[in-house]
Amino acid sequence: MYLPTRIVSGEKCVISQSGYFSNLGKRCMILTSGNSAELCGALTDIKKAFKKENIEYILFDELVENPTLLTSYKAGEIARNYKADYLLAVGGGSVIDGTKAAAVFASMNFEKPEEIYSKTITKCLNIAVISTTAGTGSEIGNVIVLTEDSNGIKRVVVSNEMFPKVAFYDYRYTMTMPIRLTVATGLDALCHCVESWFSTNATELSNLLAMRGTELTYSCLKKIADGEFNPNDEELRRNQHYGSLYGGMAIALSGTGFPHPAGYILTENASIPHGVACAFFETVFLEHSIKYVNNYEKQKFLEIVESLEDFKTTMKILLKNNITMSLKACEDMENRVSDANNTKRTLGGYIPNTVKKEAKKMFLKENQKEKVLGNWTFGDGE
């Protein structure tokens, strides 16, 4: 087990445990998306912590959902010129992934930004993270997903150099998340837990983490599906936040499954949120995988979700959509899955065309020329 990120948790831990920032240096570049860090209260706490520790900083607020290669490169150049000692990511998975890439660009010399995909990463500026959503797991992982500026395709980079040094968890920063973001990030966390649990790489430790993560995240999502969402529900926010942490630790040990590469096609072509895009294929993943686990694991999962049918019903409610796909997009999705390392972790082996069949059943529209049309519609207007 290799999880080098220090985890600091609890209300106001950013202020009470501010010494961890000083351990990384006295010049910091904070990376976030727009004014999200300010709205959730994290930036106010950071300023108090930095004043307490006499830390200088600059703010880069241009990271967006599905971070692009060139924006991350730009951030890295600014950090290099500022001579930052470390980078602080404040946000969800996109901000964290963009920050990790920027930390690499700030430390290594590339002739072209695209070389981050092919060159061995040998060094990376130190990274701290304050997670303000509850789903990504990236704050304790060594993987990033970047979007190509030219064609919108997602590409994965893996390196142990990119493990953050410290991750702060304070569920209060998630209290401002609207229902759609709560569901999208919650589904991401649930997918991490389920896919790491039912994996050929699973271990007793990863299963314990995934089991607890599934229990926490699914209870939150079930509550929302049943129409009981209250944005001020501290128990829900706390449970989802820590469920995300368990899921992040689990995938760091055993990885994700084929729903992840399947979901990329929906995100790339229709901007479907990552967690939602993966979740569309979680049921077919489970129906296949649950046949290959021992009876204890199977019963434990069914105890958490009550039954596979209840799980399907909950997911159907949360995944309400008007998405349509062309046959070509369904085929592209199958090709993406077939070539992915995630798929190699399928219990019992991946059955060819599983994803293509599922995509056709859910989304196929005959004679459609555009790859993907429509959107995820749960919670629209709320």
What average pLDDT score do residues 183-210 get?
A: 97
Nearest to 194 by CA among 314, 75, 88, 323: 314
Q: Identify the pLDDT of residue 345.
A: 97
- DSSP letters for 102-171: HHHHHHS--SSGGGGGTS------EEEEEE-SSS--GGG-SEEEEE-TTT--EEEEE-GGGS-SEEEE-G
370-374: average pLDDT: 96
Neighbours of 231 (CB within 10 A): 14
What is the reported pLDDT for 382?
A: 66
Name residues whose C-beta falls within 8 Å of residue 273's C-beta, 6 or more positions apart in sequence: 65, 184, 188, 267, 376
* pLDDT score of 381 more than 90: no
Q: Which residues pair with 30 in a beta bridge?
A: 59, 88
Max CA distance (Å), the chain? 62
Across the range 37-61, mean pLDDT stands at 97
Domain 178-373 - what CATH class?
mainly alpha
Do 209 and 253 meet the contact criterion of CB atoms below 8 Å apart? yes
Give the model confidence (pLDDT) of 293-321 as tens digits.
999 999 999 999 999 999 999 999 999 99
Give the model confidence (pLDDT) of 1-36 as tens digits: 678 999 999 999 999 999 999 999 999 999 999 999
- Burial environment of residue 352 by CB neighbours within 10 A (0 to 12, 13 to 18, 19 or more): exposed
Going from N- to C-terminal start, the domains of the chain cover 6-173, 178-373
For 231-267, write each residue's pLDDT tens digit: 999 999 999 999 999 999 999 999 999 999 999 999 9
State mean pLDDT over 313-335.
97
Q: Which CATH architecture has domain 6-173?
A: 3-Layer(aba) Sandwich (3.40)
Instruction: Tell me the average pLDDT across 108-129.
Output: 96
This prediction's pTM = 0.93
Distance CA 81, CA 241 (A): 35
User: Within 10 Å of residue 54's Cβ, how many Cβ atoms?
Assistant: 8
Which pLDDT score, from 0 to 100, does residue 313 have?
A: 97
Burial class (CB in 10 A: 0-12, 13-18, 19+), 321: middle
Q: What mean pLDDT value characterizes the chain?
A: 95
